[in-house]
Amino acid sequence: MWSWVLAVIGVTGIFFVGRKTIWGWHILLLNETLWITYAVITKQYGFIFSALAYGIVYIKSYMLWRKEDQTPTISAYEMNTHGSIDHRFIKVD
């Protein structure tokens, strides 16, 4: 039963990550803490290693995702006919 619940929670987290919501990352990290609990209760300690590894990957991926999300993009209006940036249309705060 546990494995089914944990699988559903994990798929839910991946779904929300795919929609680029922060909730997906929170759900996935919560799920890994539940996997650690499962590992301790069932004395299957290998799951602790995998849960920690997944958690590290989730955190690193989230940090990269946030960094890319904050990177400014160049719109078509900022490009001139030669393909270089037209600085007249760039807003400076």
Query: What is the full DSSP assignment across 2-61?
Result: HHHHHHHHHHHHHHHHHTT-HHHHHHHHHHHHHHHHHHHHHT-THHHHHHHHHHHHHHHH
pTM of this prediction?
0.68
State pLDDT tens for residues 20-60. 888 999 999 999 999 999 999 999 999 999 999 999 999 99
In sequence order, the 6+-apart residues with CB closer than 8 A to the CB of 87 are none
- Per the prediction, the chain carries an average pLDDT of 82
Check whether 78 has a pLDDT greater than 60: no
Q: What is the pLDDT of residue 1?
A: 84
Going from the C-alpha of 80 to that of each of 5, 60, 68, 90, the distances in angstroms are 54, 36, 24, 12
> What are the residue boundaries of the structural domains of the chain, listed by start?
2-77
Burial classification of residue 51, based on how many CB atoms lie within 10 Å of its CB (0-12 exposed, 13-18 middle, 19 or more buried): buried
